[in-house]
Chain A
């Protein structure tokens, strides 16, 4: 059975694909789905009302305590989630795959050294990396601010006041730098390197690669035309699963106050006090449920896609 037919023959794969496509479409058409986003952000309606409002006309999923629409956060958060997930995964994927392939191709001492470095990085908890880069970023920002008249003011105040561009040219990019993304890129490539390394090492001694080498094909071409394409499957599966996992992890970190706030995490955070009251989760369901479901579906969608790919591409797997 062909890979595509095998893939499409299971309903779980259809479900996963459907979820992902739905998220992608939401992200693309975000301006159409909730066009009022920018206006509502600037003019908080009835700001004296500090109670989350239930769904009603103009606010399809109700509002948060600060009267911003949950629906807006949901729709625009999809954009952020996809950008972060796909972007970071792509970089991690490229980096890890490259290291793994190079190490396996050269073999011997190089392989041992590179794989040792890979294993060493595996011992580093990612949360410490997020804290570390957050700290580094803050320190650099404050150092840059020290020479301006804004010295001593809190960072988020400066960020919101819109004077960034007039200050040091370095400030704005530093503010926008996402410490979580940086930490993920630095400490999440290892599994890719390991898996890629294992499959390339196995492939290296297979006849068609040896044939290519003996007929004088250049190293780079052997790698790019024979080794990499033939060992990509397992890492691709990992990447598919990682997109979901990274977004879930980022939202979690954002929820506990590490890294940049994402719309989904903000919704959960600002609704938290209303959920944590007697019967709060029943009364104020809209501050919790929509974002939770979105997050769970996001994780499940990519996970199902990954599982489906494994099943479909594994020649030994049988239909059950």
Chain B
């Protein structure tokens, strides 16, 4: 199978997955009365002085208009069509359209995820290979010790400690996304959001101080996230390197007189990459969950705001559903990308299905 066909297949799979998940979500929402369903279509909040009867007639109209009394497939069809048109409903808690709200907040989440990955991916691979090639050596013991601490210290506790050390005591880093003065710069006229990543946009706008401030705010969430993920990635890498090291081709290479470093980095890692990437694909959703958790603890205004704010005061089905679908889409994009990477790196996946 060529790379292209494999890639198309992988995208198709993601679309089907999304279909299944939205079907499940909608089926669950259908457990609630049609009034809740109507709120999925509710337009920008109508006048607060609306009387109870007016509200009731509006609800009835909507139930009629959007087929909310019909059987599941019909309802799902109309709902899915709305989603594709970009009409994800209006959220009374966010006071904006859910889709606009999500799109506006997505860059913040992606920026955090990007920097965390920038830290933990190379470090995880590096420490995994080092620990794996020196099994039971000092480096290996040290790695296993640290990784054990990292996984035991859950993101929540690590975040609290980080706040105390780096924010309260040392004043190096800060929670949130930007300081007050810098937040004004971003919303001021003349500032252009090229990428949505403040750290990069600051440089593009010839405002390095802004980038620096953004980094100062990113440091704690990114490090917290990276620490937990690093331990997991390192462990998987270590395990697959150890497995590869027992194989014949490595022994043959060693007998031939290849240097240990070449063996580990050029041969073993290349073949160990597949299980590592597979694991990353399978745990992409849990990475997303961790991103949101860290965002919320550090008050970082990313996508998770939509989810949590939806629980604030007024029942707000559109933003809860929108949050679920949007984060699933991000996970699917990430998995498709990693799947593609796997095929590019490892030729074995190009031949079999």
Mask of B271-295 contacts with A, CB within 8 angstroms, 1/0: 0000000000010111011001100
Contact A281 B164 (CB under 8 A): yes
Contact B168 A255, beta carbon cutoff 8 Å: no
User: In the complex, are the beta carbons of B289 and A126 less than 8 A apart?
Assistant: yes
A142 within 8 A of B: yes
Contact A139–B154 (Cβ < 8 Å): no
How far, in angstroms, from A162 to B235 measured CA to CA in the complex? 50
- Answer whether residue A233 sits at the interface, using C-beta atoms and an 8 A cutoff: no
Which residues of chain A are within 8 angstroms of B323 by Cβ–Cβ distance?
Answer: 128, 131-132
Taking a contact as CB atoms under 8 Å apart, the answer to whether B168 and A276 are in contact is yes
| Residues on the B chain within 8 Å of A135, using CB | 310-311, 315-317, 320
B46 at the interface (CB under 8 A from A): no
Residue of B with least CB distance to A135:
B320
B331 touches A125 (CB 8 A): yes
Report whether A296 and B157 are in contact in the complex, using a CB–CB cutoff of 8 Å: yes
Residues of B within 8 A of A253 (CB): 293
In the complex, chain A residues whose CB is within 8 Å of the CB of B35: 143
Q: Which residues does chain A contribute within 8 Å of B200, judged by CB atoms?
A: none
Contact check, A276 vs B296: say whether CB atoms are below 8 A apart: no
Contacts of A121 in B (CB 8 A): 21
Closest to B326 in A: A128
Q: Is the CB of B16 within 8 A of A120?
A: yes
Kindly state whether residue A89 has any CB partner on chain B within 8 Å: no
Q: Tell me if A303 is interfacial: C-beta within 8 Å of chain B.
A: yes
Q: Which of A126, A139, A248 contacts B286 (CB 8 A)?
A: A126
A268 within 8 A of B: yes
- B32 CB-CB contact with A under 8 Å: yes
**Contact at B160–A143, with CB atoms within 8 Å?**
no
B285 touches A125 (CB 8 A): yes
Q: Which residue of B lies closest to A187 (CB)?
A: B285
Q: Which residue of B lies closest to A253 (CB)?
A: B293
B324 touches A129 (CB 8 A): yes
Query: Which A residues touch B32, using CB under 8 A?
Result: 136, 139-140, 143
A253–B308 alpha-carbon span in the complex (Å): 11
Report the minimal beta-carbon distance from A122 to chain B, rounded to whole angstroms: 6
A251 CB–B CB distance under 8 Å = yes
Asked if A299 is at the interface of the complex by the 8 Å CB criterion, the answer is yes
Determine which of B14, B28, B304 lies in contact with A127 in the assembled complex, contact meaning CB atoms within 8 Å: B304
User: Does B152 lie within 8 Å of A131, measured CB to CB?
Assistant: no
Within 8 A of A (CB), among B289-307: 289, 292-293, 296-297, 304, 307
Out of A123, A134, A252, which one reaches B155, CB within 8 Å? A252
Q: Which residues of B contact A132 (CB under 8 A)?
A: 25, 28, 320-321, 323-324
- How distant is the Cα of A277 from the Cα of B167 in the complex, in angstroms? 10
Given A251-B156, A303-B152: A123 and B332 interface contact (C-beta under 8 Å): yes
Report the minimum CB–CB distance from B155 to chain A (whole Å).
Answer: 7
A269 to chain B, nearest CB (A): 11
- Contact indicator B29/A248 (Cβ below 8 Å): no
CB distance from B24 to the nearest CB of A (A): 8
Q: Please, which residues of chain B bring their CB within 8 A of the CB of A248?
A: 154, 156
Q: Are B36 and A139 in contact (CB under 8 A)?
A: yes
| A147, chain B: closest CB distance, angstroms | 12
The answer to whether B292 touches A124, judged by C-beta atoms less than 8 angstroms apart, is no
Count of residues in B whose CB is under 8 Å from the partner chain:
54
- Asked whether, in the complex, the Cβ of A257 is within 8 Å of the Cβ of B17, the reply is no
Do A125 and B311 form a contact, CB below 8 Å, given A255-B156, A276-B163, A280-B168? no
The answer to whether A320 has its CB under 8 Å from any CB of chain B is yes
The distance from the CB of A289 to the nearest CB of chain B, in whole angstroms, is 11
The distance in angstroms between the C-alpha atoms of A248 and B332, with both chains bound, is 26
Interface residues of A in 235-256 (CB under 8 A from B): 248, 251-253, 255-256
B153 proximal to A (CB < 8 A): yes
Distance in Å from the Cβ of B82 to the closest Cβ of chain A?
18
Interface string of B145-157 (1 = CB under 8 A from A): 0000001111111
Which residues of A (125-155) have their CB < 8 Å from a CB of B?
A: 125-129, 131-132, 134-136, 138-140, 142-143
Contact between chains at A252 and B33 (CB < 8 Å): no
Report the separation of the CA atoms of residues A136 and B17 in the bound assembly, to the nearest whole angstrom: 23
Do A120 and B20 touch across chains, with their CB atoms under 8 A apart? yes
One of B16, B286, B320 near A131 (C-beta < 8 A): B320
A275 at the interface (CB under 8 A from B): yes
For residue A303, which residues in chain B have a CB less than 8 angstroms away from its CB? 151-152
Residues of B contacting A122 in the complex (Cβ-Cβ under 8 angstroms) = 282, 285
- The answer to whether B327 has its CB under 8 Å from any CB of chain A is yes
Cα-based distance from A320 to B321 in the complex (angstroms): 51
Q: Are A275's CB and B327's CB within 8 A? A: no
Report the minimal beta-carbon distance from A186 to chain B, rounded to whole angstroms: 9
Q: Are B310 and A125 in contact (CB under 8 A)?
A: no
B-contact 0/1 string along A256-277, CB 8 Å cutoff: 1110000000001000100111
Task: Indicate whether A127 sits within 8 Å of B292 (C-beta atoms), given known contacts A135-B310, A258-B311, A296-B152.
Answer: yes
Q: Are B327 and A128 in contact (CB under 8 A)?
A: yes
A104 at interface, CB cutoff 8 A: no
Report A-chain residues with C-beta under 8 Å of the C-beta of B164. 275-276, 280-281
Question: A123, A252, A257, A295: which has the most chain B beta carbons within 10 Å?
Answer: A123
Residues of A within 8 A of B (CB): 116-117, 119-129, 131-132, 134-136, 138-140, 142-143, 248, 251-253, 255-258, 268, 272, 275-281, 288, 292, 295-296, 299-300, 303, 320
12 contacting pairs across A/B (C-beta < 8 A): A124-B331, A127-B293, A127-B307, A131-B320, A134-B320, A135-B311, A140-B32, A256-B293, A256-B308, A258-B308, A295-B157, A300-B152
Residues of chain B touching chain A, judged by Cβ–Cβ distance below 8 Å, are 14, 16-17, 20-21, 25, 28-29, 31-33, 35-36, 136, 151-157, 160, 163-164, 167-169, 282, 284-286, 288-289, 292-293, 296-297, 304, 307-308, 310-311, 315-317, 320-321, 323-324, 327-328, 331-332, 335
